[in-house]
Chains A and B, each alone.
Chain A
Amino acid sequence: MGEFLMPSLGADMTEGTLVEWLVRPGDEVRHGDVVAVVDTVKSAIEVEVFESGRVDELLVEPGACVPVGTALAVIAASGEPTPAKAPAKTKPSKPRVSPVVRHLAHELGVDLAEVSGTGAEGAITRADLTRTPGPQHVSASPLARRRAADLGVDLTGVNGSGPNGAITVADVEAAGGKAAGGKAAGGKAAGATPVPAPVGGPVVSPAPASMRTAIGALMARSKREIPHYYLQTTVDVSAAMTWLEQLNADRPATRRVLPAALLLKAAATAVRSVPDVNGFFVDGAFQRSDHVHLGVAVSLRGGGLVAPAIHDADQLTVEDLMAALKDLVTRARAGRLRGSEMADPTITVTNLGDQGAELVHGVIYPPQVALVGLGRIVDRPWAVDRMLTVRPVVTATLAADHRVTDGHLGGLYLAAVAAALQNPEEL
Protein backbone atom coordinates (compact mmCIF):
# COMPACT_ATOMS: atom_id res chain seq x y z
CA MET A 1 0.00 0.00 0.00
CA GLY A 2 1.46 3.33 -0.99
CA GLU A 3 0.46 6.93 -1.08
CA PHE A 4 0.48 8.97 -4.25
CA LEU A 5 1.79 12.37 -3.23
CA MET A 6 1.54 15.85 -4.70
CA PRO A 7 4.81 15.81 -6.61
CA SER A 8 7.41 18.55 -6.72
CA LEU A 9 7.40 19.64 -10.33
CA GLY A 10 10.50 21.76 -10.17
CA ALA A 11 12.41 23.47 -7.40
CA ASP A 12 10.12 26.49 -7.47
CA MET A 13 6.95 24.57 -6.69
CA THR A 14 5.63 24.60 -3.14
CA GLU A 15 2.01 23.74 -3.78
CA GLY A 16 -0.21 22.61 -6.60
CA THR A 17 -3.88 22.50 -7.45
CA LEU A 18 -5.38 19.17 -8.35
CA VAL A 19 -7.30 19.96 -11.52
CA GLU A 20 -8.60 16.56 -12.39
CA TRP A 21 -8.36 12.87 -11.63
CA LEU A 22 -7.87 10.65 -14.68
CA VAL A 23 -8.42 7.49 -12.63
CA ARG A 24 -11.11 6.27 -10.28
CA PRO A 25 -11.00 4.04 -7.25
CA GLY A 26 -10.60 0.46 -8.41
CA ASP A 27 -8.57 1.32 -11.51
CA GLU A 28 -5.35 -0.59 -12.06
CA VAL A 29 -2.38 1.69 -12.68
CA ARG A 30 1.12 0.95 -13.83
CA HIS A 31 4.40 2.74 -13.35
CA GLY A 32 4.41 5.78 -15.63
CA ASP A 33 0.65 6.05 -16.14
CA VAL A 34 -0.73 9.59 -16.13
CA VAL A 35 -3.26 9.64 -13.29
CA ALA A 36 -4.01 13.28 -12.62
CA VAL A 37 -3.64 16.82 -13.89
CA VAL A 38 -2.05 19.31 -11.54
CA ASP A 39 -1.97 23.05 -12.08
CA THR A 40 1.13 24.86 -10.96
CA VAL A 41 1.60 28.59 -11.30
CA LYS A 42 3.37 27.91 -14.57
CA SER A 43 1.38 25.30 -16.38
CA ALA A 44 -1.03 22.43 -16.12
CA ILE A 45 1.03 19.25 -15.77
CA GLU A 46 0.03 15.66 -16.38
CA VAL A 47 1.27 13.73 -13.40
CA GLU A 48 2.41 10.12 -13.57
CA VAL A 49 2.31 7.49 -10.85
CA PHE A 50 5.58 5.71 -10.08
CA GLU A 51 4.31 2.49 -8.64
CA SER A 52 2.01 -0.14 -9.97
CA GLY A 53 -1.14 -1.25 -8.23
CA ARG A 54 -4.78 -0.41 -7.81
CA VAL A 55 -6.19 2.97 -6.94
CA ASP A 56 -7.77 2.43 -3.57
CA GLU A 57 -8.93 5.84 -2.53
CA LEU A 58 -8.75 9.38 -3.82
CA LEU A 59 -7.98 11.66 -0.88
CA VAL A 60 -8.07 15.09 -2.51
CA GLU A 61 -10.86 16.55 -4.56
CA PRO A 62 -10.34 18.41 -7.82
CA GLY A 63 -9.99 22.11 -7.17
CA ALA A 64 -8.04 21.68 -3.94
CA CYS A 65 -4.66 23.40 -3.64
CA VAL A 66 -2.32 21.41 -1.42
CA PRO A 67 1.38 21.57 -0.49
CA VAL A 68 3.95 19.40 -2.21
CA GLY A 69 4.13 16.03 -0.46
CA THR A 70 0.44 15.88 0.48
CA ALA A 71 -1.06 12.42 -0.03
CA LEU A 72 -3.44 12.61 -2.98
CA ALA A 73 -4.46 8.99 -3.27
CA VAL A 74 -3.87 5.57 -1.81
CA ILE A 75 -2.47 2.97 -4.19
CA ALA A 76 -2.68 -0.68 -3.16
CA ALA A 77 -0.01 -2.97 -4.57
CA SER A 78 -1.42 -5.47 -7.05
CA GLY A 79 -2.81 -8.48 -5.23
CA GLU A 80 -3.12 -6.65 -1.95
CA PRO A 81 -6.59 -7.13 -0.53
CA THR A 82 -8.83 -4.12 -0.61
CA PRO A 83 -9.63 -2.93 2.90
CA ALA A 84 -13.21 -3.55 3.84
CA LYS A 85 -14.16 0.11 3.94
CA ALA A 86 -12.64 1.00 0.59
CA PRO A 87 -15.01 3.27 -1.27
CA ALA A 88 -14.77 1.24 -4.45
CA LYS A 89 -16.45 -1.69 -2.75
CA THR A 90 -18.86 -0.04 -0.38
CA LYS A 91 -20.30 2.56 -2.64
CA PRO A 92 -23.37 3.97 -0.90
CA SER A 93 -26.57 3.25 -2.76
CA LYS A 94 -27.40 6.92 -2.67
CA PRO A 95 -24.55 9.14 -3.73
CA ARG A 96 -23.51 11.76 -1.24
CA VAL A 97 -24.14 15.21 -2.63
CA SER A 98 -23.45 18.53 -1.03
CA PRO A 99 -26.13 21.23 -1.34
CA VAL A 100 -23.83 23.28 -3.57
CA VAL A 101 -23.36 20.40 -5.97
CA ARG A 102 -27.07 19.61 -5.93
CA HIS A 103 -27.82 23.21 -6.85
CA LEU A 104 -25.23 23.15 -9.65
CA ALA A 105 -26.62 19.88 -10.97
CA HIS A 106 -30.05 21.45 -11.10
CA GLU A 107 -28.65 24.44 -12.99
CA LEU A 108 -26.84 22.27 -15.46
CA GLY A 109 -29.74 19.88 -15.88
CA VAL A 110 -27.64 16.90 -14.81
CA ASP A 111 -29.35 13.82 -13.37
CA LEU A 112 -27.40 12.98 -10.23
CA ALA A 113 -28.36 9.32 -10.46
CA GLU A 114 -26.27 9.02 -13.59
CA VAL A 115 -23.18 10.61 -12.12
CA SER A 116 -20.55 8.50 -10.42
CA GLY A 117 -18.83 10.39 -7.67
CA THR A 118 -15.08 10.59 -7.33
CA GLY A 119 -15.02 12.38 -3.99
CA ALA A 120 -14.65 10.88 -0.53
CA GLU A 121 -16.85 7.76 -0.12
CA GLY A 122 -18.19 8.21 -3.62
CA ALA A 123 -19.47 11.72 -3.06
CA ILE A 124 -20.28 13.66 -6.19
CA THR A 125 -18.07 16.67 -6.70
CA ARG A 126 -18.45 19.76 -8.83
CA ALA A 127 -15.96 18.33 -11.27
CA ASP A 128 -18.01 15.15 -11.65
CA LEU A 129 -20.94 17.25 -12.79
CA THR A 130 -19.15 19.40 -15.28
CA ARG A 131 -17.39 16.34 -16.62
CA THR A 132 -20.48 14.24 -17.05
CA PRO A 133 -21.57 15.12 -20.56
CA GLY A 134 -18.35 16.72 -21.72
CA PRO A 135 -14.87 15.51 -22.51
CA GLN A 136 -12.91 13.73 -19.81
CA HIS A 137 -9.98 16.04 -19.94
CA VAL A 138 -9.89 19.79 -20.39
CA SER A 139 -6.74 20.61 -22.23
CA ALA A 140 -5.90 24.26 -22.67
CA SER A 141 -2.81 26.34 -23.19
CA PRO A 142 -1.67 28.50 -20.29
CA LEU A 143 -2.59 31.55 -22.35
CA ALA A 144 -6.07 30.16 -22.97
CA ARG A 145 -6.48 29.46 -19.24
CA ARG A 146 -5.51 33.03 -18.39
CA ARG A 147 -7.82 34.42 -21.05
CA ALA A 148 -10.63 32.24 -19.73
CA ALA A 149 -10.03 33.55 -16.23
CA ASP A 150 -10.07 37.11 -17.56
CA LEU A 151 -13.31 36.58 -19.43
CA GLY A 152 -14.90 34.42 -16.77
CA VAL A 153 -15.30 31.53 -19.20
CA ASP A 154 -15.61 28.02 -17.78
CA LEU A 155 -13.24 25.88 -19.85
CA THR A 156 -15.20 22.71 -19.26
CA GLY A 157 -17.89 24.04 -21.57
CA VAL A 158 -15.57 25.11 -24.38
CA ASN A 159 -14.90 22.99 -27.42
CA GLY A 160 -11.21 22.90 -28.27
CA SER A 161 -10.10 23.35 -31.87
CA GLY A 162 -6.37 23.06 -31.18
CA PRO A 163 -4.12 19.99 -31.42
CA ASN A 164 -5.73 16.99 -29.69
CA GLY A 165 -8.80 19.05 -28.95
CA ALA A 166 -6.86 21.54 -26.86
CA ILE A 167 -8.67 24.77 -26.13
CA THR A 168 -7.08 27.79 -27.78
CA VAL A 169 -7.44 31.46 -26.95
CA ALA A 170 -9.68 31.84 -29.99
CA ASP A 171 -11.98 29.13 -28.60
CA VAL A 172 -12.14 30.90 -25.25
CA GLU A 173 -12.87 34.22 -26.89
CA ALA A 174 -15.50 32.64 -29.10
CA ALA A 175 -17.16 31.20 -25.99
CA GLY A 176 -16.82 34.48 -24.12
CA GLY A 177 -17.97 36.52 -27.09
CA LYS A 178 -20.87 34.20 -27.77
CA ALA A 179 -22.11 34.62 -24.25
CA ALA A 180 -21.66 38.37 -24.34
CA GLY A 181 -22.85 39.07 -27.84
CA GLY A 182 -25.82 36.78 -27.59
CA LYS A 183 -25.05 35.23 -30.95
CA ALA A 184 -26.04 31.88 -29.61
CA ALA A 185 -29.56 33.16 -29.07
CA GLY A 186 -31.75 30.60 -27.39
CA GLY A 187 -28.95 28.09 -27.13
CA LYS A 188 -27.07 27.45 -23.95
CA ALA A 189 -23.74 29.20 -24.17
CA ALA A 190 -21.98 26.03 -23.15
CA GLY A 191 -21.14 26.95 -19.62
CA ALA A 192 -19.76 30.33 -20.54
CA THR A 193 -20.50 33.06 -18.07
CA PRO A 194 -21.70 36.19 -19.81
CA VAL A 195 -18.91 38.67 -19.41
CA PRO A 196 -18.45 41.55 -21.83
CA ALA A 197 -15.69 40.82 -24.31
CA PRO A 198 -13.01 43.47 -24.51
CA VAL A 199 -13.27 45.83 -27.44
CA GLY A 200 -10.42 45.93 -29.93
CA GLY A 201 -6.69 45.75 -29.28
CA PRO A 202 -4.38 42.79 -29.53
CA VAL A 203 -4.59 40.28 -26.74
CA VAL A 204 -1.06 40.19 -25.42
CA SER A 205 -1.13 39.71 -21.70
CA PRO A 206 2.07 39.50 -19.73
CA ALA A 207 2.77 36.37 -17.75
CA PRO A 208 0.46 36.31 -14.75
CA ALA A 209 1.87 37.75 -11.58
CA SER A 210 1.93 34.30 -10.01
CA MET A 211 4.28 32.96 -12.68
CA ARG A 212 6.55 35.98 -12.42
CA THR A 213 6.62 35.57 -8.66
CA ALA A 214 7.57 31.90 -8.96
CA ILE A 215 10.30 32.56 -11.51
CA GLY A 216 11.56 35.46 -9.43
CA ALA A 217 11.67 33.41 -6.23
CA LEU A 218 13.59 30.59 -7.89
CA MET A 219 16.06 32.88 -9.62
CA ALA A 220 16.62 34.87 -6.40
CA ARG A 221 17.33 31.60 -4.60
CA SER A 222 19.75 30.62 -7.36
CA LYS A 223 21.63 33.92 -7.15
CA ARG A 224 21.65 33.77 -3.34
CA GLU A 225 22.85 30.19 -2.98
CA ILE A 226 24.86 29.39 -6.08
CA PRO A 227 28.24 31.03 -6.62
CA HIS A 228 27.93 31.37 -10.38
CA TYR A 229 30.83 31.78 -12.74
CA TYR A 230 30.37 32.60 -16.42
CA LEU A 231 32.26 31.64 -19.54
CA GLN A 232 31.64 32.28 -23.18
CA THR A 233 33.08 31.13 -26.46
CA THR A 234 32.20 31.83 -30.07
CA VAL A 235 31.78 28.77 -32.24
CA ASP A 236 32.04 28.54 -36.02
CA VAL A 237 28.95 26.56 -37.06
CA SER A 238 29.48 26.61 -40.83
CA ALA A 239 30.07 22.83 -40.94
CA ALA A 240 26.92 22.23 -38.91
CA MET A 241 24.80 24.60 -41.00
CA THR A 242 26.00 23.18 -44.31
CA TRP A 243 25.34 19.67 -43.09
CA LEU A 244 21.82 20.63 -41.98
CA GLU A 245 21.09 22.40 -45.24
CA GLN A 246 21.98 19.27 -47.20
CA LEU A 247 20.04 17.05 -44.80
CA ASN A 248 16.90 19.20 -45.12
CA ALA A 249 17.14 19.95 -48.85
CA ASP A 250 15.12 16.98 -50.10
CA ARG A 251 13.06 16.41 -46.96
CA PRO A 252 9.41 17.32 -46.52
CA ALA A 253 8.77 19.93 -43.85
CA THR A 254 7.62 17.25 -41.43
CA ARG A 255 11.09 15.68 -41.35
CA ARG A 256 13.26 18.78 -41.34
CA VAL A 257 15.69 19.36 -38.52
CA LEU A 258 16.19 22.80 -36.96
CA PRO A 259 19.60 24.12 -35.91
CA ALA A 260 18.28 24.09 -32.33
CA ALA A 261 18.21 20.28 -32.36
CA LEU A 262 21.83 20.12 -33.44
CA LEU A 263 22.88 22.66 -30.80
CA LEU A 264 21.02 20.79 -28.07
CA LYS A 265 22.60 17.51 -29.15
CA ALA A 266 26.04 19.08 -28.96
CA ALA A 267 25.27 20.44 -25.48
CA ALA A 268 24.10 17.00 -24.32
CA THR A 269 27.00 15.11 -25.90
CA ALA A 270 29.59 17.45 -24.38
CA VAL A 271 28.42 16.40 -20.90
CA ARG A 272 30.26 13.10 -21.46
CA SER A 273 33.55 15.02 -21.53
CA VAL A 274 32.78 17.01 -18.38
CA PRO A 275 30.21 15.07 -16.34
CA ASP A 276 30.56 17.42 -13.38
CA VAL A 277 28.26 19.98 -14.99
CA ASN A 278 25.43 17.44 -14.98
CA GLY A 279 23.54 16.66 -11.79
CA PHE A 280 22.22 18.19 -8.59
CA PHE A 281 23.73 20.01 -5.64
CA VAL A 282 21.72 18.78 -2.67
CA ASP A 283 22.43 18.93 1.08
CA GLY A 284 25.86 20.42 0.63
CA ALA A 285 27.11 17.87 -1.86
CA PHE A 286 27.12 17.32 -5.60
CA GLN A 287 25.34 14.29 -6.95
CA ARG A 288 26.49 13.59 -10.45
CA SER A 289 23.78 12.20 -12.72
CA ASP A 290 24.38 9.20 -14.95
CA HIS A 291 21.65 10.41 -17.28
CA VAL A 292 21.60 13.56 -19.34
CA HIS A 293 18.06 14.86 -18.92
CA LEU A 294 18.42 18.05 -20.89
CA GLY A 295 16.20 20.85 -19.65
CA VAL A 296 15.10 23.07 -22.49
CA ALA A 297 13.91 26.58 -21.68
CA VAL A 298 10.71 27.10 -23.68
CA SER A 299 9.22 30.57 -23.75
CA LEU A 300 5.44 30.61 -23.59
CA ARG A 301 3.50 32.83 -25.91
CA GLY A 302 2.22 35.72 -23.88
CA GLY A 303 5.11 35.55 -21.44
CA GLY A 304 6.86 33.33 -18.96
CA LEU A 305 8.84 30.20 -19.53
CA VAL A 306 9.11 26.57 -18.53
CA ALA A 307 12.16 24.32 -18.73
CA PRO A 308 11.05 20.71 -19.07
CA ALA A 309 13.50 17.90 -19.80
CA ILE A 310 14.23 15.82 -22.85
CA HIS A 311 15.20 12.54 -21.22
CA ASP A 312 18.56 10.95 -22.12
CA ALA A 313 19.11 13.58 -24.78
CA ASP A 314 22.70 12.43 -25.34
CA GLN A 315 21.45 9.01 -26.44
CA LEU A 316 19.04 10.33 -29.09
CA THR A 317 19.88 10.75 -32.74
CA VAL A 318 19.60 14.30 -34.05
CA GLU A 319 16.34 13.33 -35.77
CA ASP A 320 14.88 11.84 -32.59
CA LEU A 321 16.01 14.86 -30.61
CA MET A 322 14.28 17.11 -33.13
CA ALA A 323 11.07 15.10 -32.78
CA ALA A 324 11.34 15.24 -28.99
CA LEU A 325 11.93 19.00 -29.08
CA LYS A 326 8.99 19.62 -31.37
CA ASP A 327 6.75 17.53 -29.15
CA LEU A 328 8.00 19.24 -26.00
CA VAL A 329 7.52 22.79 -27.33
CA THR A 330 4.04 21.95 -28.62
CA ARG A 331 2.96 20.42 -25.33
CA ALA A 332 4.58 23.17 -23.25
CA ARG A 333 2.60 25.77 -25.15
CA ALA A 334 -0.59 23.73 -25.03
CA GLY A 335 -0.20 23.15 -21.29
CA ARG A 336 0.27 19.38 -21.49
CA LEU A 337 3.64 18.68 -19.94
CA ARG A 338 4.37 15.58 -17.88
CA GLY A 339 5.37 15.64 -14.25
CA SER A 340 8.57 13.69 -14.88
CA GLU A 341 9.64 16.21 -17.49
CA MET A 342 9.28 19.06 -15.02
CA ALA A 343 10.91 17.31 -12.11
CA ASP A 344 14.24 16.02 -13.28
CA PRO A 345 16.33 18.06 -15.73
CA THR A 346 19.99 17.51 -14.85
CA ILE A 347 21.35 20.45 -16.90
CA THR A 348 19.41 23.12 -18.75
CA VAL A 349 19.96 24.83 -22.07
CA THR A 350 18.50 28.14 -23.07
CA ASN A 351 18.56 28.57 -26.81
CA LEU A 352 17.70 32.07 -27.92
CA GLY A 353 16.73 31.02 -31.43
CA ASP A 354 16.85 32.94 -34.66
CA GLN A 355 15.20 36.09 -33.32
CA GLY A 356 17.02 36.24 -30.01
CA ALA A 357 20.04 38.06 -28.71
CA GLU A 358 23.55 36.90 -29.50
CA LEU A 359 24.54 36.12 -25.96
CA VAL A 360 22.89 35.06 -22.73
CA HIS A 361 24.46 34.77 -19.30
CA GLY A 362 22.12 32.28 -17.69
CA VAL A 363 20.88 31.83 -14.17
CA ILE A 364 21.19 28.23 -12.98
CA TYR A 365 17.99 26.36 -12.05
CA PRO A 366 18.59 24.97 -8.56
CA PRO A 367 19.43 22.26 -7.67
CA GLN A 368 21.17 21.93 -11.05
CA VAL A 369 24.74 23.13 -11.33
CA ALA A 370 25.03 24.48 -14.86
CA LEU A 371 23.08 26.36 -17.48
CA VAL A 372 24.18 26.46 -21.09
CA GLY A 373 23.24 29.48 -23.20
CA LEU A 374 23.17 29.42 -26.97
CA GLY A 375 22.69 32.67 -28.81
CA ARG A 376 21.36 33.50 -32.23
CA ILE A 377 23.35 32.17 -35.17
CA VAL A 378 24.79 35.18 -37.00
CA ASP A 379 27.15 35.74 -39.93
CA ARG A 380 30.37 37.34 -38.67
CA PRO A 381 33.84 38.05 -40.03
CA TRP A 382 36.03 35.11 -39.07
CA ALA A 383 39.72 34.41 -39.50
CA VAL A 384 40.54 31.06 -41.11
CA ASP A 385 44.17 30.19 -41.93
CA ARG A 386 45.13 33.85 -41.42
CA MET A 387 42.55 34.93 -44.00
CA LEU A 388 39.41 36.86 -43.22
CA THR A 389 36.13 35.28 -44.29
CA VAL A 390 32.48 35.30 -43.23
CA ARG A 391 31.10 32.41 -41.20
CA PRO A 392 27.87 31.66 -39.34
CA VAL A 393 28.79 31.65 -35.65
CA VAL A 394 27.02 31.09 -32.37
CA THR A 395 28.07 32.35 -28.95
CA ALA A 396 27.87 29.53 -26.42
CA THR A 397 27.94 30.41 -22.74
CA LEU A 398 28.13 28.45 -19.55
CA ALA A 399 26.91 29.57 -16.16
CA ALA A 400 28.15 27.01 -13.67
CA ASP A 401 28.30 26.40 -9.94
CA HIS A 402 31.68 27.15 -8.33
CA ARG A 403 30.92 24.71 -5.53
CA VAL A 404 31.23 21.92 -8.10
CA THR A 405 33.45 23.07 -10.94
CA ASP A 406 35.73 25.94 -11.84
CA GLY A 407 36.53 27.87 -14.98
CA HIS A 408 38.99 25.27 -16.21
CA LEU A 409 36.46 22.43 -16.33
CA GLY A 410 33.78 24.79 -17.55
CA GLY A 411 36.03 25.84 -20.40
CA LEU A 412 36.59 22.20 -21.31
CA TYR A 413 32.84 21.75 -21.48
CA LEU A 414 32.38 24.66 -23.91
CA ALA A 415 35.31 23.38 -25.97
CA ALA A 416 33.56 20.00 -26.17
CA VAL A 417 30.37 21.72 -27.39
CA ALA A 418 32.37 23.55 -30.05
CA ALA A 419 34.17 20.38 -31.12
CA ALA A 420 30.92 18.42 -31.41
CA LEU A 421 29.52 21.04 -33.77
CA GLN A 422 32.51 20.68 -36.10
CA ASN A 423 31.52 17.08 -36.83
CA PRO A 424 27.74 17.24 -37.16
CA GLU A 425 27.52 13.91 -38.96
CA GLU A 426 28.79 12.25 -35.79
CA LEU A 427 26.20 13.86 -33.56
Chain B
Amino acid sequence: MNSDQARSAVLALLAEIAPEADLDLMDPGADLRTEIDLDSMDFLNLVEGLAQSTGVDIPEADYGRARSLDGLVAYLTDGGK
Protein backbone atom coordinates (compact mmCIF):
# COMPACT_ATOMS: atom_id res chain seq x y z
CA MET B 1 0.00 0.00 0.00
CA ASN B 2 1.36 3.45 -0.83
CA SER B 3 1.04 6.40 1.49
CA ASP B 4 -1.82 8.02 -0.45
CA GLN B 5 -3.90 4.87 -0.14
CA ALA B 6 -3.05 4.62 3.54
CA ARG B 7 -3.93 8.26 4.14
CA SER B 8 -7.28 8.03 2.41
CA ALA B 9 -8.11 4.82 4.30
CA VAL B 10 -7.43 6.57 7.62
CA LEU B 11 -9.27 9.76 6.65
CA ALA B 12 -12.32 7.85 5.45
CA LEU B 13 -12.63 6.17 8.83
CA LEU B 14 -11.97 9.35 10.79
CA ALA B 15 -14.74 11.10 8.87
CA GLU B 16 -17.12 8.40 10.11
CA ILE B 17 -15.85 8.28 13.67
CA ALA B 18 -15.51 12.03 14.21
CA PRO B 19 -17.98 13.52 11.72
CA GLU B 20 -17.83 16.97 13.30
CA ALA B 21 -14.05 17.33 13.00
CA ASP B 22 -12.49 19.34 10.20
CA LEU B 23 -9.88 16.88 9.02
CA ASP B 24 -8.31 19.40 6.62
CA LEU B 25 -7.33 21.60 9.54
CA MET B 26 -5.93 18.71 11.57
CA ASP B 27 -2.23 18.65 12.47
CA PRO B 28 -1.12 15.37 10.87
CA GLY B 29 1.63 14.92 13.45
CA ALA B 30 -0.60 15.38 16.50
CA ASP B 31 -2.07 12.65 18.68
CA LEU B 32 -5.56 12.02 17.33
CA ARG B 33 -6.92 11.58 20.83
CA THR B 34 -6.30 15.22 21.65
CA GLU B 35 -6.40 16.63 18.12
CA ILE B 36 -9.92 15.45 17.24
CA ASP B 37 -11.05 14.13 20.62
CA LEU B 38 -10.95 10.38 20.01
CA ASP B 39 -11.59 8.24 23.08
CA SER B 40 -10.34 4.68 23.49
CA MET B 41 -13.52 3.25 21.93
CA ASP B 42 -13.12 5.56 18.92
CA PHE B 43 -9.49 4.52 18.53
CA LEU B 44 -10.41 0.84 18.73
CA ASN B 45 -13.05 1.43 16.05
CA LEU B 46 -10.39 3.08 13.91
CA VAL B 47 -8.00 0.14 14.33
CA GLU B 48 -10.83 -2.29 13.56
CA GLY B 49 -11.82 -0.35 10.48
CA LEU B 50 -8.24 -0.24 9.23
CA ALA B 51 -7.85 -3.99 9.72
CA GLN B 52 -10.91 -4.43 7.55
CA SER B 53 -10.05 -1.92 4.83
CA THR B 54 -6.28 -2.38 4.63
CA GLY B 55 -5.68 -5.83 6.10
CA VAL B 56 -3.23 -4.42 8.65
CA ASP B 57 -4.39 -5.20 12.19
CA ILE B 58 -2.32 -2.94 14.44
CA PRO B 59 -1.54 -4.80 17.66
CA GLU B 60 -1.99 -2.96 20.94
CA ALA B 61 1.76 -3.02 21.55
CA ASP B 62 2.23 -0.83 18.44
CA TYR B 63 -0.48 1.74 19.29
CA GLY B 64 2.26 4.14 20.45
CA ARG B 65 3.58 4.42 16.89
CA ALA B 66 0.13 4.87 15.42
CA ARG B 67 -1.41 7.70 17.41
CA SER B 68 -1.23 10.43 14.74
CA LEU B 69 -2.32 10.57 11.11
CA ASP B 70 1.31 10.58 9.95
CA GLY B 71 2.17 7.75 12.35
CA LEU B 72 -0.72 5.65 11.06
CA VAL B 73 0.17 6.30 7.42
CA ALA B 74 3.81 5.33 8.03
CA TYR B 75 2.75 2.22 9.90
CA LEU B 76 0.30 1.09 7.22
CA THR B 77 2.72 1.89 4.39
CA ASP B 78 5.36 -0.30 6.00
CA GLY B 79 2.80 -3.04 6.48
CA GLY B 80 3.33 -2.93 10.23
CA LYS B 81 7.07 -3.48 10.13
Contacts and interface: CB of A to CB of B under 8 A. Distances in A.
Contact of A245 (B33, B57, B60): B60
Contacts of B20: 143, 169, 202-205, 301-302
Interface string B57-70: 11111000000000
Interface in A252-273: 252-254, 256, 258-260
Given A170-B15, A203-B20, A249 B59 contact: yes
Q: Which of A170, A253, A254, A330 has the most CB of B within 10 A?
A: A253
Interface residues of B, number: 24
A141 to B, nearest CB: 7
Contacts of A162: 16
A354 B40 contact: yes
Given A245-B60, A248-B60, A258 B51 contact: no
Given A202-B25, A254-B48, A355 B34 contact: yes
A339 B25 CA distance: 38
Secondary structure dominating the interface of B? helix
Contacts of A256: 44, 60
A205 B21 CA distance: 11
Given A249-B59, A253-B47, A253-B51, A355 B22 contact: no
A346 interface: no
A329 B42 CA distance: 10
Given A202-B25, A245-B60, A248-B60, A354 B19 contact: no
Contacts of A205: 20
Given A162-B16, A169-B20, A203-B22, A354 B33 contact: yes
Contacts of B21: 202, 204
Interface in B37-56: 37, 39-41, 44-45, 47-48, 51
A245 B60 CA distance: 8
Contact of B44 (A141, A253, A301): A253
Contacts of A143: 19-20
Given A253-B48, A259-B40, A353-B39, A169 B34 contact: no
A382 B56 CA distance: 37
B18 A301 contact: yes
A296 to B, nearest CB: 11
A284 interface: no
Given A249-B60, A354-B33, 4 more contacts: A141-B19, A143-B20, A204-B21, A301-B20
19 contacts: A141-B19, A162-B16, A169-B20, A201-B22, A202-B21, A203-B20, A204-B20, A245-B60, A249-B61, A253-B44, A256-B44, A256-B60, A258-B41, A299-B39, A301-B18, A302-B20, A326-B44, A353-B40, A354-B40
